[in-house]
Structure formats: C-alpha cells, structure tokens
Amino acid sequence: MRHLSTKATCNSHGQDSSYFLGWEEYEKNSYDKVQNPKGIIQMGLAENQLSFDLLESWLEKNPEPAGFKRDGKSIFRELALFQDYHGLPAFKKALVEFMAEIRGNRVSFDPNHMVLTAGATSANETLMFCLAEPGEAFLLPTPYYPGFDRDLKWRTGVEIVPIHCTSSNDFQITETALEAAYYEAQQCNLRVKGVLVTNPSNPLGTTLSRSELNLLISFITTKGIHLISDEIYSGTVFSSPGFVSVMEVLKDRNCDKSEVWDRVHIVYSLSKDLGLPGFRVGAIYSNDDMVVAAATKMSSFGLVSSQTQYLLSALLSDKKFTKNYISENQKRLKNRQNMLVMGLKRAGISCLKSNAGLFCWVNMRHLLRSDTFEAEMELWKKIVYDVRLNISPGSSCHCTEPGWFRVCFANMTEETLDLAIKRLKDFVVEHTANGHSKSNNSSKKSKRKLLPKWVLRLRDRDHEPDER
C-alpha cells in the first residue's frame, strides 16, 4: 500500500540534485578549525554573515524591541495575539522604505501593494499559485537558482521552460533566446504565463542591464504575459554598474499608465541583504490589486511572526542605521568577492565578472576531462570528497555548458576562505600535473556535450507522462 501521496513523492522537488547532495555531504563531515580541520568547507550556501556585528551592535543599543517592549512597557500580549494577515502597518512601511533606499530612492513603493510572506520561497510559490494553472509554464533564464524547481513547480504543478543563456555574451538575456524558449514551450504544448528573472542573478552575481530589462518589458507586453523579478539580492550590489529595478524601467517608460504595469511583480526578502534567512521575512510587491488580494488570502500559509515584524520595524525605521548598514555591507561583500576572484586567478581559474551577490560564477571548464556533464560531475565529486569544498555544479543550476560552478564567499571567515582557496590551488597543480584535465584544446566545442537529464525530460514529457 502507498503511504504517501504522488505529490509528496514526485521528483519535481529537486531534492536529488547535486546542489542538495553537496549539502548532505557537508553535514556528514563539516569543517571546523579545531574539531575537524580536514572537513568539508561549505561554499554552496548563499548566506551573508559579513555584517552580523552591525546588527548585533544595534540590538545592544536598542534592547526594547527584542524584549517585547514599547516606551518601557511590555507589549507581549499585544504581539502574542496579533493575527491580522495584512501585517503590521509599521513594518510594511519600514520595509517599503528600505526597498526604496536600496534603489537610491529613484522609485517608491506603496505598502498597500505589498504582501508579507515567509521568505522569498513562499513569495515565489504564492505568485505561481496566483498567476498560473497546473501545467502552464514560466520561462526562466539559465543558469538559475536550483531551489526554483521546488519553489515554483513542486506543489503548484507549474512547469519551468529554460531561456538558454550562454557564456558567449556573459549569460545575458537576448531576444533570440526569449523567443526560442517561448517556441519550445509551445512545442511542448505548454501555455506560457510569464517570465521569472532574478536581478541580481543567482548564480551569476550580475545585475540585469537596462537594455535587458527593456527587452523583457517589450517581450511580456507583446506576448501579454507576466514578469516576476526576484530582487532578493538587490542590496548586495557592490560595484558598478549599479542596481536597476524593473520598477524604475517601467516608470521611465511611463508604463504606470499602461496595462503591462499590472503584470509586473517583485519578490523581495531580508534573507540576503540583512543576512536573516532564519527570520523568514519576504514579500510580494505587485501593482495589480487582484494579485495583492489573492496573495493576501494565501499568505495565511506563510505569515511572518508578529515579534519578528515588530523587531524589524524598529530596526528598519532607524534611517541612520540602514544607511550605514547598506554601504558597509556592500563594501565588505566587495572585499570578499575580490579576495576570491584574485585567489582563484592565482590558481589559474577565472570568474564571470560580477558586481553583486554572495557568490562567484566560476569557470573550471579547462579542468574537465572532456566537455560533458559527466566530466563536470566527476570534477565536482573530486572537489567535494578530495579537496573537501562543497561548491555547486552548473548543471544543478541548469546551465547548458559544462564546467561552471557557483562558489559562495560570504558564509565563512576570511581565514576559512583563505584555506578554501589554498586547497583548490593545490588541487589544480596536482590535477594538471597528473594530466586529468583536457589538454590545451579547451576552446574546441565538443560535439559529445550531453544535455542534462531534466532538459530531455521536459522535451520527452509528451511521450513519457509518468516522468513528470
């Protein structure tokens, strides 16, 4: 007898991806400077631990909000009973102002158009529920955040169709790639409901250019579909070109008076910019009142606790604090990114030029035995088990070119990052000396390159319905 539902056991969750398998290996043998100095260093987790001291010092100076107090009086009972799923007005005001500050106050946001969710995970899933029927599709540029397979597809039954971006133009989105994805969806009998982008990108660590944003807006206007912009990393942009939100481009094009205005939605969260993934604070921002109303109804499944809202409304209303935090955090991220890029360069490894995020998109194609995803897996296993670094292979982000890896730099101390770079450098010397990498013909594109299984699965879905 079957004990679990098909939904609970189907493989669209993506738990078997190497992205999650790497975490499991890390859990079994985690690096600790004293207890386990030969353990695996976690470089597959996009966490921001660089500015905790700033948050801690604010908490020390402002003990009232964390102690359930207002003007010296306990508000414990008020917070314990609060259950309005519209959220605390003071928190929503502080959050929209923080979002505007990150965007240089070039745009403003109305708290009435915001729905609070338990992180961006919940925000993305809620938008899928509100905008698409099971079996309809969203187009996503590759490479993309591996968690999207779970967040967008698993419980909603929505399909993801890849917009194939390649290293030939630094993985930028082109009109040809957008049209090809739209066509591919049609070939698979999937109705396209929208495009979802992450800006800045996870895993690339780059921001979308104005011309890409313009292209996206024109595309969704012509096709009559939605655009979701996941801007969870918007506060991590540490060097030029600066961050441009899709809302700015919409405003510049005077779209606030056109019907496309209602079809653009932003996802945000404090998991990355403030480094608080454990607090579970996210939001949907939509110009469409109907989307806001539907998402608010759904938000009962993933509300943000009242004490978290209360604490963060005090923190984010402190403008002196937020101003200093945003710039200091960006400075620290920039130093870290530089440390990783320079360290890898000394090991003969290059990175995609990035200006944001908590990771680099690293090119190790020259270390592959052949230009295939099998060779990428082989190299990844060596790096996890022998070098003892958990990094994420490009195939787990649905990259179509073998040899790229996402390497995180903000979830550890400088000392640990130094050690990780040293381990990788020693490995490259040995690996190259043993002739394991493909010899100097890395520029030749191999015809043997295989498409990852999931692409084939999507292509074959009409013939093999059980594979879904």
Binding residues for ligand PLP, per CB under 6 A? 46, 119-121, 145, 147, 198, 202, 230, 232, 269, 271, 277, 282
69 is catalytic: no
Catalytic residue among 163, 220, 228, 232: 232
Taking the CA of residue 100 as centre, how many other CA atoms within 13 Å lie in the half-sphere pointing to its CB?
15
Nearer to ligand PLP, 202 or 363 (CB): 202
Record the tokens describing residue 48, joined without a space: 């921001």
CA pair distance 313, 251, nearest whole angstrom: 28
Nearer to ligand PLP, 75 or 204 (CB): 204
CB-nearer residue toward ligand PLP: 109 or 233? 233
Active site residue 232: yes
CA dist 23 and 46 (Å) reads: 12
CB of 199 to ligand PLP, least distance (A): 9
Which residue has the CB atom at the shortest distance from ligand PLP?
A: 119
Give me the catalytic one of 272, 273, 349, 391.
272
Of 149, 151, 230, 288, catalytic: 230
Closest distance of CB 116 from ligand PLP, Å: 12
Find the radius of gyration of the CA atoms of the chain.
22
Q: Which is nearer to ligand PLP, 153 or 366 (CB)?
A: 153
What is the closest distance, in whole angstroms, from the C-beta atom of residue 376 to ligand PLP in the complex?
21
In whole angstroms, the minimum distance from the beta carbon of 266 to ligand PLP comes to 12
Shortest Cβ 347–ligand PLP spacing (Å): 26
Specify whether 145 is catalytic. yes
Q: Which is nearer to ligand PLP, 39 or 147 (CB)?
A: 147
Partner residues linked to 40 by β-bridges: 30
CA dist list (Å): 7 to 19, 156, 380: 21, 10, 30
Query: Do residues 284 and 295 touch, judged by C-beta distance below 8 A?
Result: yes
Contacts (Cβ under 8 Å, ≥6 apart) of 21: none
- 93 burial class (0-12, 13-18, 19+ CB within 10 angstroms)? middle
CB of 273 to ligand PLP, least distance (A): 10
The least distance separating ligand PLP from the CB of residue 142, rounded to whole angstroms, comes to 13
Nearer to ligand PLP among residue 139 and residue 368 (C-beta)? 139
The catalytic position among 26, 144, 145, 325 is: 145
Closer residue to ligand PLP (CB): 119 or 143: 119
Contact 255, 273 (CB under 8 A): no
Q: Could you tell me if 149 and 143 are in contact, meaning their C-beta atoms sit under 8 angstroms apart?
A: no
Annotated active-site residue 381? The verdict is: no
Catalytic positions: 145, 230, 232, 272
